[in-house]
Amino acid sequence: MEQRYAIGVYEAKQLNTQQIRENFLMENLMQDNTIQFVYTHYDRMMIGGAKPTAKLLTLETYPELRSEFFLERREIGIINVGGDGTVEADGTPYSVSKMDCVYVGKGVKNVSFASINAENPALFYLLSSPAHESHPTQLMKGHEASPVDLGSQATANQRTIYKYIYLQGIQSCQLVMGLTVLKEGSVWNTIPSHVHDRRMEAYFYFDVPEGQRVLHLMGQPQETRHLFVANHQAIVSPPWSIHSGCGTSNYAFIWGMAGENKDYGDMDPVSVPDLR
């Protein structure tokens, strides 16, 4: 597990491209037969990936958490972006296909991950936040995630949004989680942009074609910066930052948040002409 400390607005203005990448980009979350985590001090979110190929992977605690087991004081959202797999929580197995989500609440002691076919392994994206109350483990299939079509071909942002963990969906302590799939010919995400001072956000990009990239925009609305992001890489977005992007192809991304509330619509929009 890698730890990253929070950076404020004024400190971020001093960073060059490499330093921005080192602080906000996560490049290697999906590694064979390991569980990788980055612990960010923005709302103490943990952003990770599990890629079981030749063996079962077990979610262990870390010395830095000072806990007897990983979910002693945490909750976790899990979305599969690869082949078919299984998530087991305290002895109960859940079959998880691509774009299915499993939520596991505070107090669950044993969580493990497996792939059905090692040649086409499951790729589990993990998002964990602190929790002060327990909610039951729940599986939601992709087609059950209230898909909503938004945008238009004319503005190159025709997309489908899937909501899993939020006020009207899977119940959690403070975690919010879902994903967005851009249709062929569309490249812009989260336009118009927005910020939400009440919670941080993390983006995980997937289904980015080989050789293509997403130009992720971050920073204050009047002083934006950018990062080129590849497939299966993630961005941590501070509460003061926008989180928009434009790809050289269509793609998909998982979004997740933690902070003051679970209201999906709690955001402060920024009009396109006001961006700098």
Reduce the DSSP state of residue 125 to 3 states and report it.
Answer: strand
**Which strands make up the sheet holding 176-182, listed edge to edge?**
25-26, 233-237, 199-206, 252-259, 176-182, 159-165, 148-150
Q: Which amino acid is at 228?
A: F
Give pLDDT, residue 123.
98
The answer to whether the beta carbons of residues 156 and 186 sit under 8 Å apart is yes
Question: Taking all residues of the chain, what is their mean pLDDT, rounded to a whole number?
Answer: 97
Structure tokens at 60: 């262990």
The answer to whether the beta carbons of residues 193 and 244 sit under 8 Å apart is yes
Reduce the DSSP state of residue 70 to 3 states and report it.
Answer: helix
**Domains in the chain: ranges and CATH:** 2-274 (2.60.120.10)
User: 38 pLDDT band (50/70/90 cuts)?
Assistant: very high
Q: Residues 92-96: what's their mean pLDDT? A: 98
Gap between the Cα atoms of 239 and 220, Å rounded: 10
User: 36 pLDDT band (50/70/90 cuts)?
Assistant: very high
What is the number of residues in the chain?
276
pTM of the model: 0.97
Give pLDDT, residue 207.
98
Q: Residues 246-265: what's their mean pLDDT? A: 96
HEC per residue, 151-201: CCHHHCCCEEEEEEECCCCECCCCCEEEEEEECCCCCEECCCEEECCCEEE
The answer to whether the beta carbons of residues 177 and 255 sit under 8 Å apart is yes
Gap between the Cα atoms of 2 and 73, Å rounded: 19
Q: What is the pLDDT of residues 213-230, one digit of tens each?
A: 999 999 999 999 999 999
The answer to whether the beta carbons of residues 46 and 70 sit under 8 Å apart is no
- Identify the H or E element spanning 20: helix 17-24
Gap between the Cα atoms of 76 and 124, Å rounded: 12
**Cβ of 161: how many Cβ atoms within 10 Å?**
17
